[in-house]
Structure 1
Amino acid sequence: MELDFLPIPLTWILLALLPVLFYLYAIRPQQLLKKMGVPHPSPLPIIGNMHQTMKNGVWNPDAQVKKMKEFGAVSGVYMGRTPYVTISDPEMLREVFVKQFHKFTNRAATGMSLNVKPQCRMLTDLVDEDWKNVRSTVSPAFSGGKLKQMAGAMNTCANMLLENLGKSAEKKESFDAKELTSGFTTDVIARTAFGLEVDSQRNPQDPFVVHTRKPFAVAFRNPLFWLFFLFPKIMKPILETFQYGFLDKDVSSFFYNVVDQVMEMRQTEGKAHGRVDFMQLMMNAHKFDEDDNKEEGMQVQGIKKALTRDDVVANGFLFFIAGYETTAHTMAFTFYNLALNQEAQDKAREEINQVMENRELVDYEAVNKMTYLEMCINETLRMYAPASGVVRVSSDEVKMKWLTIPKGMNVIVPILGIHNDPERWPEPKKFIPERFTKEEREKRDPYDWLPFGAGPRNCIGMRLALMELKVGLAKVLMKYRIVTGPDTDIPLKIMKFKQFPTPENGIKLRAELLQPGGD
């Protein structure tokens, strides 16, 4: 093809432009980290460093420590054409989480989040005023007063945990710690959050249990996930047009039905029942108006606008899936650590027995006195943190130390790397609860331990999770000694491509009755 006024064919002109266009699209965006002075591995055009990320996996402490050692406390990486800055320096983390939090309020850039319900209404995905409104609504569910009222339900679920554990102990058989603890945490969350009597420990095929344990479709095998990461500007409008999210459709539909049924039941019961659980707080905010907000027992502080049905469903699901899975993992790994460290187990049991003398219920006041047990949990959270890292996005230009972070930059905090840094934690692979004595904590920077994040956007369910863990562990340790068996993997082989720390062969342990023939 030729144009009369051009001395050369148009085809040749277009071919000459292709390298320029390729540079502008695929290579030029990958110059930003270099301009910022941030060290990083060399990226490939278009895919950036995603090939290395896929090789390292998601839950891989050694890979994070290696990168920190190679590139320092501040480094970078490209996910496709999108740059991320990784920060592990404690002073800088203080800026991100607290001092300049107003510039790091959000977890994801607008272009990297999908406006697909119900996921986009989850507390983890909400931004700015939307996040503040829902956070202020949900926060009262985790106050000390509310936790005190949840102790009875937790103890009931823990008694069922003991019953199931007893079956394995009688037969002198191994049990899978994660399967056992998943049933316990599922029942606790169902009761304390929704007021539902879900007996997953006896009936693991209960529809509620089956649907809430279905994995997200975000797995590495989903090509749409990678296309979205590589070409967000192209894929975002397409996925949103078809309302395609990375949450199983069956799970969404099931949870909408559950929430509708619970809301209808609660409305039929009326306000006289005075429920104070998570679901009731969401419902109060859902039907919020001035008159409701003035009635005794119905106040929800800080609400600026009513929550939608999508808000209630999304955060109900988030509360459940995040609470049961992460807490179950932590509890299972704590059993494992105590089985391998009998001296620590004996010390924890002695403390529990002292606290529980003349008490029948492992209540809120009791668990707050179990300081050594909490040290064991904290050390387990250091070794097996549920989240490999957290992300924050700058809403404005930020200056900290020598680094200037531009608006819209993604900042990663490498939790696993920080928790396994030998300079912060000598012999990081060893289970040493004494790292969390009051004296040791005072010596250490608070940003060296981040299983729940930090600052105003930390894990909202932290206090509930710790209480739940203590109740379950205390009940078990008062009656059983947890030991290893011939099928226990030492050390555990963790699958690096899972979202949470997941052992290849499970966590196989055994339980021995402390007082044979006793109650």
Structure 2
Amino acid sequence: MALEFLPVPLSWVLLALLAVLFYLYAVRPLWVFKKMGVPGPTPLPLLGNMLTIMNDGIWNPEASRQRVQLYGKVYGIFFGRSAILTISDPEMLRDIFVKKFHALSNTQTDAVTLETKPSGRMLINLRGEDWKDVRSTLSPAFSGGKLKMMMPAINTCADQLVQNIAKFAETGESFDTKELTGAFTMDVIARTAFGTEIDSQRNPQDPFVLMGRKAFDIKMSSPSFLLLFMFPSIMKPILEWLNIDLFPRDATSFFYGIFDQLIGLRQKSDEKGRVDFLQLMMDAHKDADEEEEDGVKLHGQKHALTRDDIVANGFLFFVAGYETTATSMAFALYNFALNQEEQDKAREEVNKIMENRDLIDYEAVHEMSYLEMCCMETLRLYPPIPNTGRVASEEVKVQWLTIPKDMMVIVPVIAIHYDPERWPEPKKFIPERFTKEAREKRDPYNWLPFGAGPRNCIGMRLAMMELKVGLAKILMKYRFMTAPDTDIPLKMKKGNQFPLPENGIRLKVELINKDN
């Protein structure tokens, strides 16, 4: 045989071949940032910087700021084999979010975007024209006119929240604030988005409530997803074939069933005049529509959404809206408990505006400027998402840096929010950072809890309105204070991708004496 005449044993040849293949697959990609002139921590083959990132945690302001201090406002890391540019330079952010949006409109690379249900059809994961079409269809649900029509439902849910606080005012015992705010936001979403009442504030064991909470139990550190980043070309088709999604399967099955029932009931009743999110998706049509956001034309076309589109985005709206707003409200109450003077100032403003009103209407909400400042400062300190991402759909130059096609760009929101150059004494709660004058002087890309540009959070206006109505109702009747078991400062779960305190946010409350 010919192999017998090789000058070296066959095993040596195979080992050499394996070494070359390993270098090409696992080592060579790690040189990309050196070629670009971008600094960063030294990566390991296959793993990249995953071990360091997982050890530091995702929601960790100190670690995020430390990386910026070590490597600068532009540096590179590897998650598995995936090269990720991390950029916090304000001028470059303006290009990324708006000026070069045409080349940086996607939030996921095709290599790790799973076409599974429901994640694959969620707005946050859609790409290119597909995203523009669905965004154009869904955006009208958050217009000023629609938000005005939602105000009575939000007020009703806020009234129930105030009633639920009463028992803790009577006993003086501490309680986990997030449990109350979470029930409030879940009720609001059920009514405003799906036109259904679940009353989770009175019935916390409702299956809708339990599955809603479970849906948010996302395990980014699961072996399946870690392997996806290490071996995307192998793992992606396997995960898609098995339909292994980001969200727990029993939760997604439950909501598919719920949405199917709601859609079926509406199709049979043929009701007119509904203004909620679900109806808007069901009524989606093919009329050409051109939308503009932050000066960028989307040129989307409204189209008939499929069942999977409706369920996926209904599920997304429910999960994202429930958790982020509930958490932000709980953090706002924590800030008020630690800062009584600011709490009193917000209460005084609310009482003055509500002097001749029973309902906190759309106009009243917009008059509550100091309360809004408190909400914005809370969102700076505890942004719902610590990082936001974009992917280059083509080679694009951003200032001095040329970003290759398909490279992921991460904007470290939490590092920006805790940057002492942008925010002096960044750990302090100072609502006055958001006066009209201060905001006009500051770069708009220094505050990014909802992202920026055309691909910002679609539900931002509803979230702020819901947050302000709930807080205003509470402030009119109760004072929040720290309790013996309140963590000061809060001990955060650093491994979580959302801000979540290890021991909850435990506070106590007292009824305000209106005669004083």
Common topology (TM > 0.5):
yes
- Aligned match of 1:443: 441
Amino acid paired to 2:234: I
* 1:374-393 aligned within 5 A: 374-393=372-391
SS in 1 for 2:397: strand
Per the TM alignment, residue 344 of structure 1 is displaced from its structure 2 partner at its CA by 0.4
Q: Which position in structure 2 is the counterpart of 1:312?
A: 310
The partner residue of 2:477 within 472, 476, 479 is: 479
Structure 1 spans left out of the alignment, 5+ residues: 291-300
Work out whether 1:259 is the aligned partner of 2:259. Answer: yes
Q: For residues 303 and 412 of structure 1, what CA distance do their matches in structure 2 show?
A: 29
CA contact (8 A) 1:216 1:246 kept: no
Aligned to 1:241: 241
* Cα displacement (A) at 1:346: 0.7
Matches within 5 A, 1:100-119: 100-119=100-119
1:397 aligned partner: 395
Q: Distance in 2 between matches of 1:329 and 1:208?
A: 19
| 3-state SS, counterpart of residue 214 of structure 2 | coil
Residue 291 of structure 2: aligned partner:
none
Could you say what secondary structure the match of 2:252 adopts? helix
Change (3 A) 1:365 1:101: same
Which range is displaced more, 4-13 or 231-240? 4-13
2:463 aligned with 1:465: yes
Retained in 1: the 8 A contact 2:79–2:229? Answer: yes
2:498 is the counterpart of 1:504? no
CA contact (8 A) 1:153 1:192 kept: yes
Point out the more displaced range, 154-163 or 235-244. 235-244
Say whether the 8 Å CA contact 1:116–1:240 is kept in structure 2: yes
Contact 1:217 1:246 in 2 (8 A): no
* 1:277 and 2:276 correspond: yes
Letter of the aligned partner of 1:15 in structure 2?
L
Tell me the distance in 1 between the aligned counterparts of 2:335 and 2:460. Answer: 21
How far apart, in 1, do the equivalents of 2:114 and 2:122 lie? 12
- Please tell me whether the aligned partners of residues 137 and 302 of structure 2 are also in contact (alpha carbons under 8 angstroms): no
8 A contact 1:218–1:225 mirrored in 2: no
Q: Report which stretch shifted further, 177-186 or 259-268.
A: 259-268
Could you tell me how far apart the structure 2 residues matched to 1:302 and 1:45 are? 41
Residue aligning to 1:14: 14
Query: What is the DSSP-based 3-state SS (H/G/I as helix, E as strand, rest coil) of the residue aligned with 2:152?
Result: helix
Cα deviation for residue 276 of structure 1 reads: 1.0
Identity of aligned residues (%): 64
Please say if residues 41 and 77 of structure 1, whose CA atoms lie closer than 8 Å, have aligned partners that are also in contact: yes
Displacement of 1:92 in angstroms is 0.3
Q: Return the offset for 1:226.
A: 1.0
Quote the Cα distance in structure 1 between the aligned partners of 2:174 and 2:433.
30
The aligned runs of 1:54-453 (5 Å cut-off) are 54-215=54-215, 218-220=218-220, 222-272=222-272, 274-285=273-284, 303-453=301-451
* Aligned length in residues: 506
Cα deviations by residue, 1:268-304 (Å, 9 ceiling, x for unpaired):
22243x001100000112x7699xxxxxxxxxx9544
Farther off after superposition, 351-360 or 7-16: 7-16
* 1:24 maps to 2:24: yes
Looking at structure 1, the residues matched to 357 and 458 of structure 2 have their Cα atoms a distance apart, in angstroms, of 29
* Distance of aligned partners of 1:359 and 1:216 in 2 relative to their CA distance in 1, 3 Å threshold: closer
TM-superposed deviation, 1:238: 1.1
Q: What is the Cα deviation at residue 212 of structure 1?
A: 1.2
Contact 2:493 2:502 in 1 (8 A): yes
SS of residue paired to 1:55? helix
Give me the whole-angstrom Cα distance separating, in 2, the residues matched to 1:420 and 1:221: 25
The answer to whether the 8 Å contact 2:216/2:319 transfers is no
The verdict on how the C-alpha distance between 1:289 and 1:516 changes in structure 2, with shifts beyond 3 A counting, is: closer
- Deviation string 1:166-196 (CA, Å, 9 cap, x unpaired) is 0110111112111110000000000000001
2: CA distance, partners of 1:515 / 1:252: 46
Give a deviation string over 1:490-509, Cα, whole Å, max 9, x none.
Answer: 11111101121111111111
Alignment check: 8 A CA contact 2:395 2:402 kept: yes
Q: Which amino acid aligns with 1:63?
A: A
Query: Structure 2: which amino acid aligns with 1:441?
Result: R
Residues 394 and 410 in structure 1, CA contact (< 8 A), matched pair in contact too = yes
CA-based RMSD of the aligned residues comes to: 1.7
Which ranges of structure 2 fall in alignment gaps of 5 or more residues? 289-298
1:517: Cα distance to partner? 9.7
Secondary structure at the residue paired with 2:476? helix
CA distance in 2, matches of 1:127, 1:490: 42
2:161–2:201 Cα contact (<8 Å) kept = yes
Q: Does the aligned pair in 1 maintain the 2:215–2:251 contact within 8 Å?
A: no
Shift in Å at residue 516 of structure 1?
A: 7.2
